[in-house]
Chains A and B, each alone.
Chain A
Amino acid sequence: MLSLKTAKAAGDFDHYPDSMGVLVDVNRCVGCRSCEAACNKEQGLPEPEKPFNDYSVFDEGHEGGGHGGVGRRTDETRYTVVNKYEVPEIDHPLYRKSQCNHCLEPACLTSCFVNAYTKTPEGAVIYNPDVCVGCRTCMIACPFYVPAFKYSSAFSPRVMKCIFCYDTRLKEGRPPACVEACPQEAMTFGKRFDLLEIGRKRIRQHPDKYVNHIYGEKEAGGTAWMYLSPVEFGEVGFDVHVPHEPVINFVRDFLSIVPMVLVIWPALFAGFHLLANRKDAQHNHDDIDREGGE
């Protein structure tokens, strides 16, 4: 009975109960790009070609357009980007900030074969460039297309991604630079558990202003960064097909057969060998010519 209980507990890792998160309200964002500038400075990223008060960047796409057909994405020069969306229901454009969502069960972490990623109890998904091999499986696995690779470097490439300002701020309990820089208070920093309450309350109080969904509550098994939106999330560049369970769940089927193959195959094939060569053992040197394939 007891063993059953522990087994269950191990299977349903309950995440870090007091981990922090951010609730982003798409309603409030005005696209000023202060968060991008703050992030750039805090993380020591290269100065962009166009300054942060140049709003023509909203007309840029990255090759082919990305989700929903528009928008820039995170890359080796920027950990966060704001994109603009024109939606028919509303007479003004909407803006949506994207960065690493800091999943509760991160796909990048579970897919990494050198343990370069860590989910800290504070909620950040951080990356260790010293062990990374550069295989880029994390970029394949991330359902939000967040990690980027420093392709420009031959001798010190690495994955580039938002780390929730872990080493400079979050560790000390302070909000990340982007949140602090926002003049609109579009982002709320707090314990993930409380943020969900706040989100639900806002939706309840203003049902006309929000769709009844907190993006990130369940997506990819839950994320630390979550969103509220006045329109369907697909209209403001969110991938609404992201599964509502951790990515690792899709891999479990395969992982579970590994020990079985390792244990069963040797005996099975040694048995086949004995059976196949039984006749040889019986009629010694009796050259039996057998036709056909496998």
Chain B
Amino acid sequence: MIDTKRPPEDVRREIVMLPHDGEELALHIWRPQEIKGAIFYFHGLQSHAGWLWEVGPQFADNGIALFVLDRRGSGISTGARSEIPGVETVIADYVTAIEHTRRTIGDGVPLSLFGHCLGGSFLAALLHHPDFTTRYDSAVFCSTWLGRLHALLGEEERAALAAEQSEELWDAGLKATDFTDNPGYQHFIDTDVLAVRELTRRSRATLLGLERLYLEPQRELPVVPYVFASGLTDPIVNLDATHRVFTEMVSGRGTIIKFPTAEHYLFYTEARRSVVDWASAFAILQDPDRHV
């Protein structure tokens, strides 16, 4: 378990560039000297690994190796900005990065998949895709509105969106104040030169396609612990709606947990330490050797 009687970890922070399908994908890693568990993190629409400069070292200090892929076109990965490629490309990028992660940590280390906001929708889609075969030991959906487009758009609107080919930019309309009430973090979000704030309209068709993968599942999920985590409330996520989708998706086996904040981006709130500690313990406890 987490060793609390020792000096701070001399955490390593590495960036591995994974060449895949014509692009260089940046896999960011914060890792302790001895890896007791690993978390693979799916960032949201606007963010990237550079948002986790405090979270990464804290996870690693708990014995957790944190892996974060800058999605194609996000962070320091190459690829067209403001563009989410087709569903199969998105899935293939994650399959590649998570296979690399599992090879890096070895079979004996429990691996937890952690999707934040839109990243949770990418995670849910990946879990249901037949190409994803890497073993994972738990999954966390954090402040994600699962099935958001299906909840907000009618059938005809969804059909129109699915056929969208336009490269016209669509403003996601995200405000820093939706993420956190901390002025320092708000300033960072507002001035982050790597943030993605707009998407092509055809990218939204990809998001719809990804939702279909888990709303119309073609395969069963493995029996591992699933958790939905959020603040007590969330300014941009309908928690009741997403809890329903989550519960159905994991066949009633999921846990719902709330942290004491009303903000969306838990890592930029007072709850950060609690979220990191809980997620660390949760990941480590799924060690395959622990089952009795």
- Asked if A and B are interacting partners, one says no
Q: What is the interface of chain B, defined by CB distance below 8 A to chain A?
A: none
Q: What is the interface of chain A, defined by CB distance below 8 A to chain B?
A: none
